[in-house]
Amino acid sequence: MKIVQSWDDGVVDDARLSGLLRRFHARATFNLNPGLHQQRRSFGWRHGDKDVWRLGRDELATVYAGFEIANHSLTHPNLPDLSTLELEREVRDSRHILQDWFQQPVRGFCYPFGSYNPAVKEAVRAAGHVYARTVAECEPLFPPADPFEFGVSCRFVDPAFWTRYEQAKTFGGVFLFWGHSYELVNEAMWADLEDKIARISADPAAEWASVETLF
């Protein structure tokens, strides 16, 4: 079974997360919005009692070294609301910027807010992506009926995480969990995630993979 993980939004907690993943030789895909990163860390929004900050442009290459980068649009708008021109900018320009920043091909896309329509799907495909991730949970996950409506197994905090994991194993295919590292609001949650990563890395039936390599 291949295990893939997909983390969104490029926040500062990704620095700790990528360090944790490296310790366990886990692969992951990070979905970024290049239009939202300033040179230094910048305040993003509040998540409950927590201030969420975005990573600075100056640290992105270090934080994400060795991981797959996917396009999450330029500025995280609700893509179905946009004009054709705006859509082009959010999808195509964003991909070019990420490829320039990271000097690696960017072929994956992740819909902001999980929202899309036929025009959005076509813009994403035409810009050179090979898949687009939604937030729809489905089993079996792979291969998807439409690679531009690629779903997920569950969120990383899903109470049914291990049940879903074993289900995916029964189907013999792919298990994909996703989330945002800013959701990790205390040490107990970090310990729980570390336990998950460690258990998966120790499972002889599991093999870490990047999303893009599935397609």
Size of the residue set binding Zn ion (CB under 5 A): 2
- In the bound state, the residue with its beta carbon closest to Zn ion is 8
Cα(188)–Cα(5) distance, integer angstroms: 20
Q: Nearer to Zn ion by C-beta: 46 or 187?
A: 46
User: Residue 202 Cβ, how far from Zn ion at the closest point, in Å?
Assistant: 30
Candidates 1-9, 44-52, 60-68, 128-136 — which segment interacts with Zn ion by CB under 5 A? 1-9
- Residue reference for tokens 């035409």: 126
Q: What is the DSSP string of the chain?
A: -EEEEEEES-BTHHHHHHHHHHHTT---EEEE-GGG--SS-EEEEEETTEEEEEPPGGGHHHHTTTSEEEE--SS---GGGS-HHHHHIIIIIHHHHHHHHHTS---EEE-GGG---HHHHHHHHHTT-SEEEEEEE-SS-SS-SSGGGEEESEETT-TTHHHHHHHHHHHTSEEEEEE-GGG--SHHHHHHHHHHHHHHHT-TT-EE--GGGG-
User: Residue 90 Cβ, how far from Zn ion at the closest point, in Å?
Assistant: 13
Q: Nearer to Zn ion by C-beta: 183 or 212?
A: 183
Q: Nearer to Zn ion by C-beta: 79 or 123?
A: 79
Q: Nearer to Zn ion by C-beta: 75 or 99?
A: 75
User: Residue 113 Cβ, how far from Zn ion at the closest point, in Å?
Assistant: 7
User: Residue 44 Cβ, how far from Zn ion at the closest point, in Å?
Assistant: 11
Q: Nearer to Zn ion by C-beta: 44 or 144?
A: 44
Q: Nearer to Zn ion by C-beta: 8 or 90?
A: 8
User: Residue 73 Cβ, how far from Zn ion at the closest point, in Å?
Assistant: 8
Residue type, 213: T
User: Residue 8 Cβ, how far from Zn ion at the closest point, in Å?
Assistant: 4
| Residues 2-21: x where in contact with Zn ion by CB under 5 A, - otherwise, as a string | ------xx------------
**Residues in 172-211 that interact with Zn ion by CB under 5 A:** none
Cα(90)–Cα(126) distance, integer angstroms: 13
Residues that bind Zn ion (CB under 5 A): 8-9
